[in-house]
Structure 1
Amino acid sequence: HSPGSDSDSIKVFVRVRPLTQGTGLTTDGDQSLCLSVTSPNTIRLLSKPQPRIFTYDHVADMDTTQDAVFSSVAKNICGLSFCFEYLFFLINRESKQSKSFLCKCSFIEIYNEQIYDLLDTASASLFVRENIKKGVFVEGAVEKFVNSAAEAYQVLSLGWRNRRVASTSMNRESSRSHAVFTMTLESKESINEVVNIRMSQLNLVDLAGSERQKDTHTEGSRLKVHCLPSA
């Protein structure tokens, strides 16, 4: 963590759960709450000899919905795993409204002007095609169906381990290739006997390093990845 950086600091979120049988009793035996949410950041505890106030980054009271808690806490957290979690949170929410979903993932690498399938290391170089219905796509790339954020992250991790990495004198882990992880989402909904199908894609792209050649001493075939023509 970076000292003094709000974006990197540890944050504390508190949620007050609803009362259950036998809870909420004071020392006098009545049903008064032992604590209350006094603001979105503070709670008040009925302690003796005097009440105590506690301050946090965010406080949700017992009436706060699960959606509101997620939006306040998890939605703004960066990272691929949370990105997947948020996507499947939306899928699960919409699935309860007479919709069905299919999600599949592919992972390709562009290295030395060739396209490789990171989910099938035994495959030969692939080719880019264009179709009226599908648009631009990589022919023959493996697509794995996933049903959860955990499964999507497993596919990403598998492909990442297969990625070609070249050593340079600047950074031994500096990648000399481009990688594209694609999640294709298809939804189907029936309204008055009419079936509506929608398809969307989420593309996560990791570009090759931008170090200068004279600094990295990278030459020959490893440098060609920077000479790819613009799409």
Structure 2
Amino acid sequence: MAITTTAGESTAVQDPATSFSTLLREATREEHSDAENKGFITRLMGGELLEEDYWRLLSQYLPVYVALEEAISAAAEHDALAAAFHDPRFARAAAIREDFARRFGEHDGIDAPLPVTQRYAVRIREASVPQLLAHHYLRYLGDLSGGQAIGALVARHYGVPREQLTMWDFSDIDAPKRVKDAYRAQLDEIVDPRVREDYLDEAKLGYQLAGEMFRALDA
């Protein structure tokens, strides 16, 4: 479902002629790199930590995904832009719970959310639709891209079996590349500079919150 928003006043950075998916990638490059290069996530992916550290990370991801999935489902019921991006196949909360259940038993092993995780989840729940979609983009397109490497590295370094890595399993999406391409094409339908600005600002904040969460886990 293609959504074209109403164009308002444009600025150089919000030129509607510029592909929004390209603008989004370029405008958040620094924040993205900064979040990915925090000590905890770098050392975890490098095999320098312990299996339990992976589960500590997943514990913090859970409330973020619960907030995101509840918020996008609710928004999609009354907002056409939210509905255009909502895809139940992206949902990860149930998979995270399933992984914990298979590893530790039902209701065991999940840590309480850290203060930064609580702030992250509250921010998602209180977000406007453009802000919510920024978090949707960061989490789900990230999972379909670099997230696949996370699953492979956790299996390699820490011996976590495949059946406990359903968080990273998108086998119900037949062609992830086509899905990602369609998602970016949908992004390019957003031309309203106000929507773009809100989205971009929130995407930067989303990367910052993720980085803070990694720093807290490092501590």
> TM > 0.5 between the two?
no
Structure number with the higher helix fraction is 2
Q: TM-score, normalised by structure 2?
A: 0.22
Max Rg structure: 1
Q: Which has the higher contact order (CA 8 A, sep 6+)?
A: 2
Structure number with the higher strand fraction is 1
Q: TM-score, normalised by structure 1?
A: 0.22
